[in-house]
């Protein structure tokens, strides 16, 4: 049987897989929570469902599970500072500190929605599967808010990159 790939090799390979930058938020009985994540993708459009991977060692993980809701806020090109803030790079360790920047509203589930995001996908968590270090949250979309058309913010090669908005 072949040897599994090493963790450093896997992490280097994933650094070469570009992804949208997202701030994932939640609120409810477990308290307000928010973090930056790139491990988000569509699962199916009927019913509209996403998956979101969150590290089980995150201080925010239990709140997401307890709340049963989340909002995927896809960041636009000018929102890099919000990404860094929710990633804890600015010293914002607690959920309350993380929500000190940005303007916030709500849609259907009560999860915080970032005003000005490229798109916000407000979801109810249907299922959580735990695999290795992460939980995979399967989230049914209950509401969508489309933001203004703007350049995209992408995470690739361990850094931010901006993709211009295509000409109409």
Q: Which CATH number is 74's domain given? A: 2.30.110.10
Q: What is the pLDDT of residue 55?
A: 95
Residue 8 lies in a domain: no
Q: Indicate the number of domains in the chain.
A: 1
Kindly list the averaged pLDDT for each block of 10 residues, start to end, along the chain of length 168. Answer: 82 86 97 96 96 95 97 96 92 86 96 97 98 96 95 90 79
Q: What is the pLDDT of residue 164?
A: 86
- Residue 80 in 3-state DSSP? helix
23, 81 Cβ separation under 8 angstroms: no
Residue 106 lies in a domain: yes
Which residues form the domain of 142?
Answer: 21-159
Q: What is the pLDDT of residue 63?
A: 97
Q: What is the pLDDT of residue 133?
A: 93
What is the pTM assigned to this prediction?
0.93
User: Which residues, 6 or more positions from 160, have their beta carbon under 8 angstroms from its beta carbon?
Assistant: 21, 80, 83, 153, 154
Residue 1 lies in a domain: no
Q: What is the pLDDT of residue 96?
A: 86
User: Which residues, 6 or more positions from 113, have their beta carbon under 8 angstroms from its beta carbon?
Assistant: 25, 71, 73, 104, 105, 106, 107, 120, 122, 145
Q: What is the pLDDT of residue 168?
A: 59
Residue 4 lies in a domain: no
């Amino acid at each position: 049987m072949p040897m599994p790939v090493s963790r450093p090799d896997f992490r280097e390979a994933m650094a070469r897989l570009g992804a949208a930058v997202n701030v994932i938020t939640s609120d409810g009985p477990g308290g307000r929570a928010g973090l930056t994540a790139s491990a988000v993708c569509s699962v199916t459009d009927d019913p509209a469902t996403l998956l979101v991977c969150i590290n089980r060692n995150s201080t925010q993980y239990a709140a997401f599970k307890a709340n049963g809701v989340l909002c995927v806020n896809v960041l636009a090109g000018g929102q890099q500072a919000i990404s860094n803030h929710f990633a804890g790079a600015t010293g914002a360790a607690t959920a309350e500190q993380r929500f000190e920047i940005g303007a916030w509203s709500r849609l259907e589930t009560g999860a915080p929605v970032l005003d000005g995001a490229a798109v916000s996908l407000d979801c109810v968590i249907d299922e959580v599967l735990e695999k290795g270090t992460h939980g995979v949250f399967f989230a049914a979309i209950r509401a969508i808010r489309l933001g203004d058309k703007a350049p995209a913010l992408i995470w690739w090669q361990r850094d931010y990159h901006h993709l211009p908005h295509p000409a109409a």
